[in-house]
Structure 1
Amino acid sequence: MRSEDGGSGRQRSFIEEARRAQIVEAAKEAVAELGYARASLARIAERAGISKSVISYHFDGKSELLEQVARQYLDAAGTAVEARLAEAGGPVARIRAWVDAQLEYFTADRVGFLAMAEIVTNHRGEDGSRPFDGMDEEEIEILTGLLMEGQRAGEIRDLDPRAVAVVIQQTMSGLLIGWAHDGGSLDVATQVPVVVDFIEHAIVKEKT
């Protein structure tokens, strides 16, 4: 990956940053429409209205470019979720905020979600490794921690935090996959509160 100064000892100019953003956006659209394998640099360049050499100037190749597309999307999602968690009150409210914020962010940009999902599923590093393999595990660990926090506060009933975190993650993934595969026609806005309410009723400790 090129350094922030492009290897020249200087910071990238505004124009260079704008060009990189343009290329990333074109790559995102190409992957969402064509799939990971068919989104070649030539097709990305054509979509951006530039030559392949311009992409090669800013990125070391397709691998770096598409990894940047996915990481940029996921970083922004993480920032959005963290902001919602910071605003939430107790443990149950934080779990609700976590689920709601994730679903809200992912479904707000279908093109970005499709591109991210394609890249995360298919991308391999130069050494054959899968750099995004630990992504689901990280999310499960976060949710497990929130559930344990709720148990300590007496708000979450007696349950296996990790097992329930996996179920919640799979429930959310199922909704998102269904939404993505039906062309985006599923009215997610009406489904999200149903999912959130279902999860809350499944985990909250009954008052005695």
Structure 2
Amino acid sequence: MTKAERALETRERILKAACEVIADIGFENVSMRKVAEHAGVSKALLHYHFDTREKLFAEAMTHSFAQTGTDLDGGDAGSVPAAVLLARIVRTMLPTDEELRQDWKLWQELWVRAQRDEGARQLAVDLYDQLHTWVGGAVEQGVESGEFTPCDVAAVSTLVLALCDGLGIRVMIADPHVDLPTAQSAIWSAIAPSLGISPAFPEV
């Protein structure tokens, strides 16, 4: 392994550890020492890669977002029905497994910080822009293939994001009135009329 490869592996290990620690105890309780210990590196090495908690938080959020995966069709978007692709995206934007629940905890930390920190606010806006583009791409694919009726792609994308956020929070807090199937069904029923498709959530 080259020096550059070792540095990259260390950076990835630190980011993974930071995501886990922030999700576990919240950013306000995180210290660089705790992240270093969890990553199995020295505090000095941690500071070599990330000189402030704020930079570490921003990189951890970006890392978490990237790990979610925005290529759910396996690289063959043209052969995957747009409804299936969109349904997969919806599932990925909800806390459907432990890894995604961790991502959701990080998003919740970002929402709070974005209210009082300009850097966090801009990061949140940038990540939402990427999510909007991701959802919009699936909707556009469906419109172009004839699976979906022509619609306001931006409006549908915004609706999907808003519904995933609102219902995802209810799932995260274990609201007895909103479980994952209920959330998925509510989202799909809300967007189905605009897309001209069945309101039943697809099997994915």
Q: Given the two structures, how large is their TM-score scaled by the length of structure 2?
A: 0.69
Report whether the alignment pairs 1:12 with 2:4: yes
> Which structure: larger Rg?
1
1:74 maps to amino acid: F
1:61 to 45, 49, 52: 52
1:4 corresponds to which residue?
none
2:147 corresponds to which residue?
155
SS in 1 for 2:30: coil
SS in 2 for 1:157: coil
Determine if contact 2:150/2:195 at 8 Å carries over to the other structure: no
C-alpha RMSD of the superposition:
3.7
User: For 2:92 and 2:148, how far apart are their aligned partners in 1?
Assistant: 20
1:7 corresponds to which residue?
none
How far off is 1:177 after superposition? 1.7
Structure 2, unmatched stretches of 5+, are: 199-204
How far off is 1:62 after superposition? 1.7
How far off is 1:56 after superposition? 1.1
User: For 2:190 and 2:80, how far apart are their aligned partners in 1?
Assistant: 17
SS in 1 for 2:124: coil
Determine if contact 1:81/1:101 at 8 Å carries over to the other structure: no
Report whether the alignment pairs 1:81 with 2:66: no
SS in 2 for 1:130: helix
User: For 1:88 and 1:167, how far apart are their aligned partners in 2?
Assistant: 26
For residues 49-72 of structure 1, give each alpha carbon's deviation from its aligned partner in whole angstroms, at most 9, with x where no partner exists.
554223113322222222221111
1:164 to 156, 161, 169: 156
How far off is 1:136 after superposition? 1.7
1:33 to 24, 32, 36: 24
Structure 1, unmatched stretches of 5+, are: 1-9
Report whether the alignment pairs 1:143 with 2:135: yes
Determine if contact 1:151/1:158 at 8 Å carries over to the other structure: yes
Change (3 A) 1:109 1:54: same
For residues 109-168 of structure 1, give each alpha carbon's deviation from its aligned partner in whole angstroms, at most 9, with x where no partner exists.
322331244246526577x87233122233224433433443344432354332222112
